[in-house]
Structure 1
Amino acid sequence: MTSGMPAQEQDRQPGREAEMRPAPDYMPVYPGSGRLKGKIVVITGGDSGIGRAVSILFAREGAKLAIAYKDEDEDARETARLVEAEGGEALLMAGDVGKKAFCERFVAAAVERFGRLDILINNAAEQYVREDIADIPEEGMERVFRTNIFGYVFMVQAAIEHLRRGGRIINTSSIVAYRGQPQLLDYAMTKGAIVALTRSLSARLADKGILVNAVAPGPIWTPLIPASFPADKVAEFGTDTPLGRPGQPAEVAPAYLFLACEDSRFMTGQTIHVDGGDYPSS
């Protein structure tokens, strides 16, 4: 039995959660147990989708968060409200992670507000359907790379001097890094680059005691979906997984919590796949 979503689309990236029907499920399932008590987290793309679910879950576990987002003010304010409802604190900053100066300002503001930095989560992304490889615009491909991989590197560069032994860097890759996606060619390339970044950075920072891992979501119901695909494709989204449906942000967030807390202290350079059984077998 398969279960898709109502046909819908949005006309701008990276999409707005407030306009989605049904709304994504972002609330944690279990009570918090203090696994991130006192931790300071910076997250990009934290206003909606997976980023919102992670922010709420981390707040429930005791973290304080600095949340970067592009320009989705309504979504960001709602995420801050939800974080605060869990007893957390949220610093919001709008801007473009594809610009190094913004990443530097964002991290500096987080450290000024909270006094230090323990966990960096690179999560911001954008994607565009490309029907013909010959028609991919140079500036469009550069835009995707700037957000999806340059921004990750810029954030690492800005954060690394503040991370201490036991710190964490968690990157958001994707199943398309492993199986490809013919209509999301440049997006898939960036997600593959994130896997390489994770593996390389984990080796570079191992002697400093900073752990670097990634999460590779499969089809997850986030604003990026109606913002990227035509309505008929949105209606079919995720129905081809073995579980017959798309995943929800709340079903991905616990993977980030595992990588952020002490449970994963002997794990680095790895990627956790949360994809409804869609990971390729070869």
Structure 2
Amino acid sequence: MINPIFLKTFCVLYRNTHFTQTAQVLHMTQPGVSQHIHKLEEQLSAQLFIRKGKHIIATEAAKTLYEHAIAILDTLESLPSEIKKDSPYEGEVSIMSPGGVGLLLYERLLHEQRTHPQLSIQFRFAPNTDTERAISQRKADIGIVTLRPTLADITSLKIGNDPLLLVLPSKYKEPTWTAIEQLGFINHPDGELHGTSLLAENYSEFTSISSIKQSGFSNQISLILDPVSLGLGFTVLPKSAVLAYRNQASISAFSLENPVLEPIFLIHNTVAPLTKRAKFISDVIKNKIVDVSESVG
């Protein structure tokens, strides 16, 4: 590895073309300057200067080295300030979240990026287990999960609840059991869990999701409500996913008499301290989740 002190000596000598003047600038002895250049030439296996009396002539190797050396030394000089630099509105923030909450948050986070163009939001939709693992391995800064984390190196904070809603086509004004049976269930990856949780608490007629006809399935969170909007079935989703749907007029969402709440946890790695920008985005997420938790279903 090339010694940066040797590079600095080389750059000063390259500009001054004189050993004595270089020694004076660097507060060194002339033999000390010569020793630095000699060691650098040994490391590079190249002659850097041709000596002409008290002056020197740079070789082609020296010209090439000088261009790179200046860039290296500039980087080293600015490195301490760059490391200390920690603006809440600049830099990259990586976030992982389940689909429903993620759809609602992503628009809000893009608004922050428009407001602060030096921010770079890196957002990935992922299930709870993948998010928790990524935070543990420090592959993401912030995670949002709907199950309390179990890994020891994760700090979690419950920031709100995401109520489960029964969603019917817009022509249905009452969430009757007859409507549910007639329509059939639009299933999704969490459909059995969500459907069972909400329907069991509110309908004495309910026995199991499997006893209700399945009218469709989608594993894309943004598409689950499309068949519902077309009158092809009903589904159960977290409020965050329902609020993020683009065509609200085509659906009817009901919170039901006995609400079922899905907890929302904000997580980060216990060992790695959050940057100011990650803390800023965490606060944005907290405020948005509070809006979802408190909004009328």
Give TM class, smaller chain.
Answer: under 0.3
TM-score (norm 1): 0.26
| Structure with the higher strand share, 1 or 2 | 2
TM-score (norm 2): 0.25
